[in-house]
Structure 1
């Protein structure tokens, strides 16, 4: 596919507008705004407006759920290493892989890169929805052993969280189908070229695509919980007798290493789960 300078310009404008909007809402830090600008511009420039709007759908729904019943979640979120204002690494953990797949699709024109893009995005959305709604559950359990744990604990799952994960993955799947069908309806076949071909390939079997994305997003979210329970670095506050993601607890005391790998924080877990979701989407799409 030929590179379009117009697409690049539109990508810069659209990504800048989204990033600045998020910054003014205090959804992104200054570094997070720069990361969002980079990711958005890459996705729009190399994937087009439908890919970019999927990214917007993820951001808008995630931001809304972060603000949903925020006061009730404040105490739980104090144990997280980072708050609701997303920084550079948080944005890149969820956005770098979709940006890479947009670039690879532009270079190779293989439908599997679009499948992987949506699978990674569905995983990020499923995980965000599960986290933001799951922390409201009174009875979470550790994914590895089923034991009761505190709300918001890394690796915890709940009925509410699992349903939210399914809904989050389904939301991205349906948005992907809807946006691309609309694009297919508007576009001229000769102008679209290879884009037209992959849309036809996808939406002749649209039900299969929706199932693949929902399954991949849900499995990616479960992988996120598993990684959080097994390899994420966790620390112990000797004063408060609490497990936390923080190196310095909110009480001001220095925490001690407790379990996992110290270099694996929540951003690394999110990136790994996005990789898992993308690979699951490719595998399911090829097998079914």
Structure 2
């Protein structure tokens, strides 16, 4: 009982630290605490460690050379400081699988949980590191060079970073949960697959707006202190929805593979 109370205190302090370090807004810190509680219920300290590995590494790359990314952030809906929507988008599915695992101790929910974090890490590393590439990325719908920060665009550096981000979570997951080589490879592949899904949804369905004042295409609904105009994408599919769907669909695909092999 005392140990559980200490863990809860640590989760609260971690959320507060994220706010103090300007990695989280107030709402983001509260959401991170809720996700942390869910993960602890489902997977204990090991689950929290893996969640922390994702949060620490993604926060590091978000802050790394942030001054070089200032122009790119004009195109993005949100910056490096995560609010509750971003926390839910990147950690909500992992929290959901944790709660399910608490009531149903099946291996598939562990795999789903780890794949969600591998996918989120893969996508974050691809975006944050890929934006530092010297070349403009390729838009997958036309294979033409586009501005950095464009949803649905890929670069060699970003693709390598995506693989590395998924690999890190899969290796740490193997170390923490000892779930064998097959599941480690599965997590790695579907973690990366989550980033592929993110890119595809971003290219074909994510909403894009244009600023009537400066003409920039952006994910923001307001720019230059004025409302922007949606020029493509679904009104229901913003960046947070893309992030949530990519991790969730990658996790469910991995679970489907496990069922097919049983």
TM-score, length-scaled by structure 1: 0.86
Q: Does 1:125 align with 2:98?
A: no
Q: Does 1:16 align with 2:15?
A: no
Alpha-carbon distance, 1:167 to partner:
0.3
Q: Does 1:152 align with 2:125?
A: no
Task: Give SS of 1:241's match.
Answer: coil
Task: Give SS of 2:86's match.
Answer: helix
Q: Which deviates further from its counterpart, 133-142 or 50-59?
A: 133-142
Contact 1:8 1:44 in 2 (8 A): no
- Structure 1: gaps of 5 or more residues: 182-201
Q: 1 CA distance for matches of 2:187 and 2:257?
A: 9
Alpha-carbon distance, 1:7 to partner:
6.3
Alpha-carbon distance, 1:122 to partner:
0.5
Task: Give SS of 2:168's match.
Answer: helix
Q: Which deviates further from its counterpart, 171-180 or 251-260?
A: 251-260
Q: Which one of 47, 51, 54 corresponds to residue 50 of structure 2?
A: 54
Contact 2:126 2:159 in 1 (8 A): yes
Q: Which one of 84, 90, 97 corresponds to residue 94 of structure 1?
A: 90
Alpha-carbon distance, 1:239 to partner:
3.1
Deviations 1:148-196 (A, max 9, x none): 1100101111111111110000000000111224xxxxxxxxxxxxxxx
Q: Does 1:164 align with 2:138?
A: no
**Equivalent in the alignment of 1:187:** none
Task: Give SS of 2:22's match.
Answer: coil
Q: 1 CA distance for matches of 2:257 and 2:167?
A: 16
Q: Does 1:232 align with 2:206?
A: yes
Deviations 1:85-142 (A, max 9, x none): 1001110111111111111111111100000001111000000000101111222011
Task: Give SS of 2:144's match.
Answer: coil
Q: 2 CA distance for matches of 1:284 and 1:210?
A: 13
Alpha-carbon distance, 1:252 to partner:
3.0
Task: Give SS of 1:48's match.
Answer: helix
Q: Which deviates further from its counterpart, 6-15 or 59-68?
A: 6-15
- Equivalent pairs, count: 260
Q: 1 CA distance for matches of 2:97 and 2:6?
A: 19
Q: Which one of 127, 140, 145 corresponds to residue 143 of structure 1?
A: 140
TM-score, length-scaled by structure 2: 0.94
Contact 1:116 1:278 in 2 (8 A): yes
Q: Which deviates further from its counterpart, 145-154 or 57-66?
A: 145-154
Structure 1 residues 58, 261: closer, same or farther in 2, change over 3 A?
same
**Structure 1 moving runs of 4+ over 4 Å:** 5-8
Alignment map for 1:58-97 (pairs within 5 Å): 58-97=54-93
Alpha-carbon distance, 1:51 to partner:
0.8
Task: Give SS of 1:37's match.
Answer: helix
**Equivalent in the alignment of 1:192:** none
Alpha-carbon distance, 1:78 to partner:
1.9
Q: 1 CA distance for matches of 2:205 and 2:176?
A: 37
**Equivalent in the alignment of 2:171:** 174
Q: Does 1:245 align with 2:245?
A: no
* Superposition RMSD in Å: 1.5
Q: 2 CA distance for matches of 1:234 and 1:6?
A: 50
